[in-house]
Amino acid sequence: MRLIIPEGYKSLITLKETEKILQMLKDHFELGLSSDLRLRRVTAPLFVLKGTGLNDDLSGVERPVTFSIKDMREQEAEVVQSLAKWKRMMLRDYDISQGYGIYTDMNALRPDEELDNLHSLYVDQWDWEKAIFQEQRTLETLKEAVLKVWRNIKRTEFFIHTFYAQILPSLPEDIIFIHSEQLYEMYPDLNPKEREDKIAEKYGAVFIIGIGHELPDGKPHDKRAPDYDDWSSETEDGFRGLNGDIIVWNETLECAVELTSMGIRVDKAELMTQLEITGDMDRVELLFHRRLLNDELPPSIGGGIGQTRTAMQLLKKAHIGEVQSAIWPGEMVNHCRRSGIQLI
């Protein structure tokens, strides 16, 4: 069992207070995100048809939950794991102009997740996607979006403090940008998770750029699917990747926590490059990939922001189960109960 029990931990607010602030927190964050990035809300699917290429395979090894549909000749559907590719198709289908975008509540199941303080079988995110011009596929565009998301996180942190004075804002005002190659050069003897812990503890909040391509040791900082984020393009400053993660230092658990992943999406050229790198060229026949290769989809930037992960961080909770109702191993439930961690 992977479980961190902070010494002397006690939630700063009660379960009833937690339930009350959760919806307020989500509403406040959602409105800020929509306003800052110029996004309109759309309805998201819980499942998509298998074989369309719309479901995301994340790092490439996770199994989607699959079921057959009786009234559709037993066609198989998959519960979504994220909506990166679906959102980009919706930009075209909703005829969204460049400079504007969409967002949605994404609910996903990830049965292969290793359960601990930060990981659950159930994932809820603010998934967003914004249409941009081809010339905006730059590191500058990525950084501008990161700063807008970060300012919204900071505003929401203060919003919570106005209701519960004991929950003190602790995230830094500014977020630091660093490429995964630079982080590797700083800590070559550490694994990626240990590097994140080091840099997050040092700065409080960082955006690690370029996740998916190989580092000097032949391994990526973390795996990314080849068909949504652009992780192979060379950037203006000589590194690779137009995507990344916001990582913050969690004072309660004393470790780094990822709040959101985002990136400039692949164009035709980078799609083919990355499919070749990962050995997934057979995907070019799938619906999403055909539409992208046929110039039917706009250039875009997008990401997913963990709702309960962000709530957990801002409310200074020790376990994601304190802000989300899910299923946990019996041993974990009992250990949390004995340690004063009240799972929903």
Residue 107's φ and ψ, nearest 5 degrees, are -120, 125
The catalytically annotated residue of 11, 81, 120, 125 is: 125
The catalytically annotated residue of 76, 113, 258, 280 is: 258
Q: Is 258 a catalytic residue?
A: yes
The catalytically annotated residue of 11, 78, 81, 110 is: 110
The catalytically annotated residue of 30, 56, 127, 196 is: 56
The catalytically annotated residue of 30, 245, 270, 322 is: 245
The catalytically annotated residue of 120, 261, 300, 324 is: 261
C-beta separation of 283 from 53 below 8 A: yes
Q: Is 110 a catalytic residue?
A: yes
Q: How far is Cα 27 from Cα 67, in angstroms, rounded to an integer?
A: 32
Q: How far is Cα 211 from Cα 244, in angstroms, rounded to an integer?
A: 6
Joined tokens for residue 213: 């391509």
Distance of CA 126 to CAs 17, 250, 257, 262, Å? 23, 21, 17, 11
AA identity, residue 255 = C
C-beta separation of 299 from 132 below 8 A: yes
C-beta separation of 41 from 34 below 8 A: yes
Distance of alpha carbon 196 from the chain centroid: 16
Helices 307-314 and 15-37: crossing angle in degrees, nearest 10, is 120
Instruction: Kindly list the strands in the beta sheet with 66-69, ordered across the sheet, starting from the edge strand earlier in the chain.
Output: 47-49, 75-79, 66-69
Q: Is 125 a catalytic residue?
A: yes
* DSSP one-letter code for 53: S
Range 266-271, long-range pairs (CB < 8 A, 24+ positions): 266/226, 266/227, 266/228, 266/229, 266/230, 266/292, 267/134, 267/137, 267/230, 267/299, 268/292, 268/293, 268/295, 270/230, 270/232, 270/233, 271/226, 271/227
Q: Which of 106, 134, 131 is nearest to 39 (CA)?
A: 131
AA identity, residue 268 = K
Q: Which residues are known to be catalytic?
A: 56, 110, 125, 245, 258, 261
